[in-house]
């Protein structure tokens, strides 16, 4: 598919308006898996129109878990000894031998790696070229220990993977490192109630992105699934889901770009309907982070109002360990304002849609800013910061690179953004919504 660049401009440096955000991709993907696992007991409302969620829903709609059924077939033997049968044949969800392609949807890849073995079918799970470079070995090892038979098609530890029929649980005790993607942990927790022996998940070391694990457990709780969490062990017994409707809250990750726009504007009055201060989403911490940049969040009228006041930025260290999807947004805001902050908790950024650390370093250099890596600490050096009249932003097939850098159009007269459609992964209406507050996006032929 051809990539289409845009020129993004902004008249004036104020931002005022109401923006209705799409449903949370993180919540939605979890809810869709729970719906598929629940034999019809769980329903999902306000499904996200993010491409990742659309992809996962489409796959799950054709791979539904179905309850066991007994069919009676009639066997006949003709005069030549040929056996024929008549009557229905049992088929359940996905056909054996089918290839399931998630494209660039990383969450779908992780969740389906745990979900598909339960279907008792032979399935090949694959994705885009970049997806085939993103590790899946830790989760595959865990599923193999549980009883799944999974082979790598090409490279050990990476998709595509071939999932064989015949899953039979061998153990309920799994140990997994806490400093890897929380999606591995979530994938295992989501299927736990359907495992015949349940799951006893031991988390080794410090847990990265803890709010995402807490979101998963909270959504399981909403569907009637109980758990215990003692020290570093999460236990879920085999259980049935209760009839539940899960409402997907608007996306706090998407909201973060509006906080960035407010932070880079001289004046901002924005209303984001549907967001609450009691969100399951860890990225709601953006309210606290952006308070350092003079952004006040007031929850009323069924949403959150953002306003901007001039204030010096005092905070120098930002730990992104529990909210890594906010890292690009906050780093770009600091760089644009010349705020030489230090960042920690960026380890998982290197295995996302792209190596986000390297991508940030490359793009920030275009405005004279360095992101210096020393071990697990990253420091912005803005001593040679220079905002150009025109700046080209490479997006690396990463939706968050496009959206994190887009607010720079407030300060840079002409911002060229590569592959504008990349935002469809999580926020398809992003460019249209920007136009509501004075941005203008012109496609390049």
* pLDDT of res. 252: 96
CB 326 within 8 A of CB 281: no
CB 125 within 8 A of CB 163: yes
Region 120-149: mean pLDDT is: 94
- Residue 141: which H helix or E strand, with range? helix 137-146
pLDDT tens, position by position, 49-84? 998 999 999 999 987 654 433 223 333 434 443 434
* pLDDT of res. 68: 34
Catalytic residue among 52, 325, 398, 419: 325
**How would residue 97 be classed by pLDDT, with cut points 50, 70 and 90?**
low
Distance separating alpha carbons of residues 187 and 283, to the nearest angstrom = 19
Which of 405, 410, 431 minimizes the C-alpha distance to 420? 431
Helix, strand, or coil here: 181?
A: coil
Distances (CA, A) of 192 to 7, 243, 382, 422: 47, 18, 48, 33
Region 119-129: mean pLDDT is: 93
Region 411-419: mean pLDDT is: 97
Which of 189, 196, 216 minimizes the C-alpha distance to 114? 189
Which of 281, 224, 229 minimizes the C-alpha distance to 253? 281
* pLDDT of res. 90: 31
Q: Which long-range contacts (CB under 8 A, 24 or more apart) does 73-77 make?
A: none
Distance of CA 90 to the CA centre of its chain: 35
Task: Give the domain ranges of the chain.
Answer: 6-24+249-443, 26-63+95-247
Q: Report the DSSP pairing between strands 267-273 and 303-308.
A: antiparallel
Region 92-112: mean pLDDT is: 81
Q: In the structure encoding, which two tokens stand for residue 48, read together?
A: 């996200």
* pLDDT of res. 99: 92
Q: Do domains 6-24+249-443 and 26-63+95-247 have the same CATH topology?
A: yes
pLDDT tens, position by position, 151-164? 999 999 999 999 99
Distance separating alpha carbons of residues 82 and 139, to the nearest angstrom = 47
Residues 6+ apart with CB under 8 A from 296: 306, 307, 308, 309
**How would residue 96 be classed by pLDDT, with cut points 50, 70 and 90?**
low
* pLDDT of res. 117: 96
Query: CATH number for the 6-24+249-443 domain, one of 3.40.225.10, 3.30.1330.180, 3.40.50.300, 3.65.10.10?
Result: 3.65.10.10
9: left (phi over 0), alpha (psi -120 to 50) or beta: beta
Averaged confidence pLDDT in the chain? 90
Residues 6+ apart with CB under 8 A from 147: 117, 167, 168, 169, 170, 171
Domain 26-63+95-247: state its class: alpha beta
- Assess whether 325 carries a catalytic annotation: yes
**How would residue 180 be classed by pLDDT, with cut points 50, 70 and 90?**
confident
CB 429 within 8 A of CB 22: yes
Task: Name the DSSP class of 189.
Answer: H
- Mean pLDDT is highest, among 15-19, 58-62, 86-90, 351-355, for 15-19
* Top-confidence residue, 14 or 208: 14
pLDDT tens, position by position, 312-343? 888 899 999 889 999 999 999 999 999 999 99
Distance separating alpha carbons of residues 176 and 183, to the nearest angstrom = 12
* pLDDT of res. 383: 97
* pLDDT of res. 314: 85
Which of 206, 153, 243, 161 minimizes the C-alpha distance to 347? 206
Q: Report the DSSP pairing between strands 295-300 and 303-308.
A: antiparallel
- Residue 332: which H helix or E strand, with range? helix 327-337
CB 422 within 8 A of CB 403: no
pLDDT tens, position by position, 215-239? 999 999 999 999 999 999 999 999 9
Half-sphere exposure of 384 (CA within 13 A, CB side): 8
Q: Report the DSSP pairing between strands 317-319 and 342-344.
A: parallel
């Amino acid at each position: 598919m051809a990539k289409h660049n845009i020129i993004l401009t902004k008249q004036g440096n104020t931002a005022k308006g109401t923006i209705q955000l799409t449903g949370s991709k993180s919540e939605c993907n979890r809810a869709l898996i729970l719906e598929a696992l629940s034999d019809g007991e769980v329903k999902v409302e306000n499904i996200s129109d993010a491409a990742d969620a659309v992809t996962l829903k489409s796959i799950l709609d054709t791979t539904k878990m179905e309850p066991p059924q007994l069919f009676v077939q009639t066997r006949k033997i003709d005069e030549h000894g040929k056996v024929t049968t008549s009557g229905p044949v049992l088929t359940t969800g996905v056909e054996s031998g089918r290839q399931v392609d998630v494209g660039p949807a990383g969450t779908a890849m992780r969740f389906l790696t745990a979900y598909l073995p339960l279907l008792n079918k032979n399935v090949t799970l694959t994705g885009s070229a970049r997806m085939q470079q993103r590790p899946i070995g830790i989760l595959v090892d865990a599923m193999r220990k549980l009883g799944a038979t999974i082979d790598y098609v090409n490279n050990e530890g990476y998709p595509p993977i071939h999932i064989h029929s015949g899953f039979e649980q061998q153990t309920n005790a799994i140990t997994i490192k806490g400093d890897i993607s929380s999606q591995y942990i979530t994938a295992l927790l989501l299927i736990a109630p359907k495992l015949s022996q349940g799951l006893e998940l031991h988390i080794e070391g410090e847990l990265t992105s803890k709010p995402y694990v807490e979101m998963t457990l909270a959504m399981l709780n909403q569907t009637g699934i109980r758990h215990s969490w003692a020290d570093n062990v999460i236990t879920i017994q085999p259980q049935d889901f209760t009839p539940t409707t899960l409402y997907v809250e608007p996306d706090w990750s998407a909201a973060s770009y509006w906080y960035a726009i407010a932070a880079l504007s001289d004046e901002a009055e924005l209303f984001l309907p549907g967001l609450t201060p009691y969100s399951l989403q860890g990225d709601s911490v953006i309210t606290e982070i952006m308070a350092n940049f003079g952004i006040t969040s007031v929850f009323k009228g069924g949403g959150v109002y953002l306003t901007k006041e001039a204030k010096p930025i005092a905070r120098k260290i930002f730990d992104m360990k529990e909210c890594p999807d906010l890292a690009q947004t906050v780093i770009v805001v600091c760089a644009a304002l010349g705020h030489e902050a230090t960042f920690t908790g960026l380890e998982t950024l290197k295995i996302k849609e792209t190596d986000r650390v390297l991508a940030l370093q490359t793009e920030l250099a275009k405005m004279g800013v360095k992101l210096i890596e020393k071990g697990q600490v990253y420091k912005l050096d803005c001593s040679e910061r220079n905002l150009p009249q025109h700046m080209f932003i490479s997006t690396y097939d990463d939706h968050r690179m496009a959206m994190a850098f887009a607010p720079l159009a407030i300060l840079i007269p002409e911002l060229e953004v590569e592959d504008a459609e990349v935002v469809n992964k999580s926020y398809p209406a992003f460019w249209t919504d920007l136009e509501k507050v004075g941005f203008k996006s012109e496609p390049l032929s």
